Structure 1
Amino acid sequence: MKKVMIVDDEILIRENIRNCVDWTKEGFIYCGDASDGEVALPLIEEYQPDILITDIKMPFMDGLELTAIVRKQMPNMKVIIMSGHDEFRYAQDAIRLGVEDYCLKPISASELIQILQKVSAKIDEEQKRQKSQSITKERLLADLCGGLIGTSEAIESAKALNVSLSSRFYAVAILDIRCKDSADSMTITSLRNELERQLAPLVECLSFFRSRTELVCILKGNTADDIASELKAVSGKIRTELEHQFGVEIYTGIGSLQERIQGIHFSYLEAEEDKYINRLTELNKATLSEFHVSVDIVLDRHLFLEFLKIGVPAQRDSFVREFAVELKQLNWKASPYGFYLLNDLTLEAYRVAKQSFRTGVDPSGSIGCLQQEIKKIAAWEDCCEYLCNLYQELWQWRAESSDKYGDVINQVKEYVMSQYNNEQLSLKVIANHVRISPSHLSKVFSQETGQTLTEYLTQIRIGKAMELLKTTRSKSFEIAFEVGYNDPHYFSNLFKKMTGMTPKEYRNQGADDRKGRLQELEKDETA
């Protein structure tokens, strides 16, 4: 909705224009008026109207002087000149200053609305053109992964860029490409093209470079199985082939499957975490391969991870001592080999725990702390104590998962109820408040409540708006601001989508209901 301001020294003219137009219905916000240009300037700076309607002949500062200042300081603002003087020189001066229209007083409501609609359409067209010129495919994809763009805006931008974005399923894969010699941009670009070629038979891949050597791929397709198959290939077969073909090392990160465009952001966050753990694992394995030890140690990792999923605390100590019996052979003080063995086992346990227990814990800090604990191990008994503590920490995630996150959901709902009128409220802000990652919060909230966090926030906001429409005389655009929407037009469309009525229709229905109840009470009293 475009904001409109009137400047005219005749109060009857200002009042007539203000009262003869149903501004909200016509898609505008009447944000104020002033009696001359000098009075208007500070109001214009404060309210930043999109369209300024000004008379020419006014005391102190006339309309042409005001227009010249506005055009210089706020070039995007559109100016409409009104005048009761049908003289060509005024029109010439106005046109030279770049006004959008020049009309004679008196002007009817229908004529004014027609001019405003024409100017509004021009503003929309200019904004659309500026957006299409400024955004690139890479910027669009980066904003999607970063959670910096809404669904409708993303679809609109993709259409302007001729990018096919809509799909049934999405997932993100990150490839961190490390050239063995100097980084060769041509090699990396060729690798990107080869990756997209290999994925093309089953799914579409939209890719961009987040940094010089980090390739982010958004996989989209019509079946979950196809995307899951390709994700597995990216981290396995395809990755190995690309490393061999281009002589590079690649660390991969894989995000979960999502059904909404907004889910691309959550999948990206998960891919980032997965890449971090995978890179640590690969570096650790490379270090392990350099050791030449006289003992042959075989750890049953599958058994260790199965106990992580289904084991019980009462059996923990005996299980750990039996599992770690071969580690007795190690000289913990003389060689770091034990550190790398436990570090590798810890990283694998972390990956399994995050996948199995739906945890939102950031692994970077926790893994760093555990690595410091491993370095302190000086004997086999210390090793067993470390593994017991590792189970204890990861089982805490399992416990939190099993109680359905009741406390977290309650905290989220309480926070939304207290902050719904904050237009900056977002998934990221709420996640920071409850101290878990945005992607995890989104999944948990949807699983536990049956609706997305955005749907819940919208439900609360529209409910509050319904209450205000019934109990106050505030205008629709004022109520929109009160419940957290800075775009009244968007609020009106959303309100109708949720309730089946416009805000005005809902308010009128409430008035009719109250009138009917009063009439019934009067009848009862008469009887």
Structure 2
Amino acid sequence: MIKVILADDENLELEALKIIINKKFKNASVVGIAHDGDEVIEMNEDLNPDVIFMNALMPGTNGFEVAKIIKKKDENKKIVLMSVYDDFEFVQRALKIKVDDYLLKPIRPEKIIKILDEFINSDKSHALEKNKSILLGNIKNHYYKESKDTLKQLIECLEKFSICESQKYSEELVRDMIDVFDIENNKLNNNVDYKKNFNSCLDIHDIENNLIDILDNLFDMLIYNRNLSDTDELKFLLNYIEKNFRNNIMLQDVADHMKFSSPYLSKSFKKHIGTNFNQYLTNRRIQEAKKILKNTSTSINVLAFDIGYNEPNYFCKVFKKLEGMTPVEYREKHRNQI
């Protein structure tokens, strides 16, 4: 959601702008209205808006000075100055402090719509590319959990695009992911037609499932296509746990998957992590349980099964041993803190 602040000493002008924005945009909202420059500076700190529409000549600190102060802290903040003066000196002054647009009053609705449309499209594309860059960096460094988390953030960005745009972008993304892994398509998975896969996606959830499957395949392929260093062994071991901790896994499952002996993997795990496999797995499950307890109303029984415990009572016993309270007590405590 794009957050907008409106600033003017004329109430009618403010109300008109607010109506236009709230009526025409589902993904933009007016979060604050200011009547002087000092209010704008304060609101910018408190609300962190994406866009500010502001009268160039307001009481107190004028719009030019406010824009200069805000741009100095965050040059990417979108600021539009508004004025009744069609004066070259005003425009030149606005350009000097790098405001994003200068509008003459009275403001035409279509001009506001055009400017916000451009800002929104620019913002969502920027967020998409930023997450893509982070994702490819995580993949290059073999960080599975971080890659998956960033991929989910990227998919949230894709939700702002049409399904056709998302399909096309996903195809390009997969090619970039494969380039980072330096694995050809046919080595990754024989007879996989990624374009066909994405073209058959009906919604963003289908795209998400496809991308996660491909990410998982890529990480699995690394185990079989590279001579692993000690660091890589550790990363892939942790990656496997991250992908499978919700299942009933044991060290032998990991050893079989990575083509190592169980004793070797146990010794390596203890050496690099400082704890044994079972303790690490338990800590990861309890960490996930705490997140679910704080953020959802999922029942304790469902939660236990969801994070890999077949017996809810045993889960409660483990949770209390590690956290000093039952899952129900933990949930109540954190609800009271919200």
**Which bracket does the TM-score occupy, shorter chain normalised?**
0.5 to 0.7
Find out whether 1:63 has 2:76 as its counterpart: no
Corresponding residue for residue 278 of structure 2 = 364
**Distance of aligned partners of 1:69 and 1:197 in 2 relative to their CA distance in 1, 3 Å threshold:** closer
**How far did 1:418 drift?**
7.8
Corresponding residue for residue 73 of structure 2 = 73
**How far did 1:22 drift?**
2.8
Q: For the Cα contact (< 8 Å) 2:5–2:31, is it kept in 1?
A: yes
Q: Distance in 2 between matches of 1:366 and 1:2?
A: 40
**Distance of aligned partners of 1:111 and 1:254 in 2 relative to their CA distance in 1, 3 Å threshold:** closer
Q: For the Cα contact (< 8 Å) 1:23–1:29, is it kept in 2?
A: no
CA deviation string 1:423-479 (max 9, x = no partner): xx9xxxx99x957884x36x999xxxxxxxxxxxxxxxxxxxxxxxxxxxxxxxxxx
* AA partner of residue 163 (structure 1): D
**How far did 1:60 drift?**
1.1
Q: For the Cα contact (< 8 Å) 1:82–1:104, is it kept in 2?
A: yes
Q: Distance in 1 between matches of 2:173 and 2:77?
A: 25
Find out whether 1:281 has 2:279 as its counterpart: no
**How far did 1:151 drift?**
4.2
* AA partner of residue 176 (structure 2): V
**Which 10-residue stretch deviates more, 124-133 or 47-56?**
124-133
Corresponding residue for residue 266 of structure 1 = 243
TM-score by length of 1: 0.38
Q: Distance in 2 between matches of 1:122 and 1:284?
A: 49
Find out whether 1:111 has 2:111 as its counterpart: yes
Q: How does 1:245-264 map to 2 (within 5 A)?
A: none
Corresponding residue for residue 172 of structure 2 = 159
Q: Distance in 2 between matches of 1:80 and 1:52?
A: 6
**Distance of aligned partners of 1:283 and 1:268 in 2 relative to their CA distance in 1, 3 Å threshold:** closer
Q: For the Cα contact (< 8 Å) 1:140–1:158, is it kept in 2?
A: no
Q: For the Cα contact (< 8 Å) 1:56–1:64, is it kept in 2?
A: yes
* AA partner of residue 35 (structure 2): S
Q: For the Cα contact (< 8 Å) 2:143–2:235, is it kept in 1?
A: no
Q: Distance in 2 between matches of 1:69 and 1:7?
A: 15
**Distance of aligned partners of 1:134 and 1:218 in 2 relative to their CA distance in 1, 3 Å threshold:** closer
* AA partner of residue 217 (structure 2): L
Q: For the Cα contact (< 8 Å) 1:3–1:28, is it kept in 2?
A: yes
**Distance of aligned partners of 1:219 and 1:64 in 2 relative to their CA distance in 1, 3 Å threshold:** same
**Distance of aligned partners of 1:201 and 1:416 in 2 relative to their CA distance in 1, 3 Å threshold:** closer
Q: Distance in 1 between matches of 2:65 and 2:280?
A: 64
CA deviation string 1:337-384 (max 9, x = no partner): xxxxxxxxxxxxxxxxxxxxxxxxx853499xxxxxxxxxxxxxxxxx
Q: Distance in 2 between matches of 1:283 and 1:134?
A: 30
**How far did 1:264 drift?**
9.8
Q: Distance in 1 between matches of 2:280 and 2:145?
A: 24
Q: Distance in 1 between matches of 2:189 and 2:81?
A: 60
Find out whether 1:11 has 2:24 as its counterpart: no
* AA partner of residue 121 (structure 2): A
Q: For the Cα contact (< 8 Å) 1:253–1:275, is it kept in 2?
A: no
SS of residue paired to 2:75? coil
SS of residue paired to 2:149? coil
**Distance of aligned partners of 1:118 and 1:15 in 2 relative to their CA distance in 1, 3 Å threshold:** same
Q: For the Cα contact (< 8 Å) 1:4–1:28, is it kept in 2?
A: yes
**Which 10-residue stretch deviates more, 84-93 or 121-130?**
121-130
Corresponding residue for residue 346 of structure 1 = none
Find out whether 1:219 has 2:196 as its counterpart: no
**Distance of aligned partners of 1:33 and 1:115 in 2 relative to their CA distance in 1, 3 Å threshold:** same
Q: How does 1:340-355 map to 2 (within 5 A)?
A: none
Q: For the Cα contact (< 8 Å) 2:54–2:63, is it kept in 1?
A: yes
Q: How does 1:50-199 map to 2 (within 5 A)?
A: 50-136=50-136, 138-139=138-139, 142=142, 144-146=144-146, 147-151=148-152, 153=154, 159-160=172-173, 162-163=175-176
**How far did 1:117 drift?**
0.9
**How far did 1:91 drift?**
0.6
Q: How does 1:107-506 map to 2 (within 5 A)?
A: 107-136=107-136, 138-139=138-139, 142=142, 144-146=144-146, 147-151=148-152, 153=154, 159-160=172-173, 162-163=175-176, 202=190, 218-219=216-217, 265-267=242-244, 273=251, 274-275=253-254, 279-282=261-264, 363-365=277-279, 419-420=295-296, 438=307, 440=308
Q: Distance in 2 between matches of 1:198 and 1:80?
A: 51
CA deviation string 1:305-351 (max 9, x = no partner): xxxxxxxxxxxxxxxxxxxxxxxxxxxxxxxxxxxxxxxxxxxxxxx
Bigger Cα Rg: 1
SS of residue paired to 2:154? helix
Question: % of aligned pairs identical?
Answer: 19
Q: For the Cα contact (< 8 Å) 1:4–1:30, is it kept in 2?
A: yes
TM-score by length of 2: 0.55
SS of residue paired to 2:16? helix
Q: For the Cα contact (< 8 Å) 1:18–1:30, is it kept in 2?
A: yes
CA deviation string 1:11-42 (max 9, x = no partner): 22112212343357442011011111112211
**How far did 1:124 drift?**
2.8
Q: For the Cα contact (< 8 Å) 1:4–1:29, is it kept in 2?
A: yes
**Distance of aligned partners of 1:9 and 1:134 in 2 relative to their CA distance in 1, 3 Å threshold:** same
**Distance of aligned partners of 1:42 and 1:203 in 2 relative to their CA distance in 1, 3 Å threshold:** same
**How far did 1:2 drift?**
0.8
CA deviation string 1:28-80 (max 9, x = no partner): 01101111111221111111110010111112110000000010112221001
**Distance of aligned partners of 1:219 and 1:41 in 2 relative to their CA distance in 1, 3 Å threshold:** same
* AA partner of residue 153 (structure 1): L
**How far did 1:417 drift?**
9.1
* AA partner of residue 159 (structure 1): E
Q: For the Cα contact (< 8 Å) 1:2–1:27, is it kept in 2?
A: yes
Q: Distance in 1 between matches of 2:32 and 2:135?
A: 34
**How far did 1:108 drift?**
2.5
Corresponding residue for residue 34 of structure 2 = 34
Q: Distance in 2 between matches of 1:366 and 1:5?
A: 47
* AA partner of residue 266 (structure 1): K
Corresponding residue for residue 204 of structure 2 = none
**How far did 1:111 drift?**
2.2
Q: Distance in 2 between matches of 1:366 and 1:36?
A: 56
Q: Distance in 2 between matches of 1:11 and 1:268?
A: 57
* AA partner of residue 281 (structure 1): P
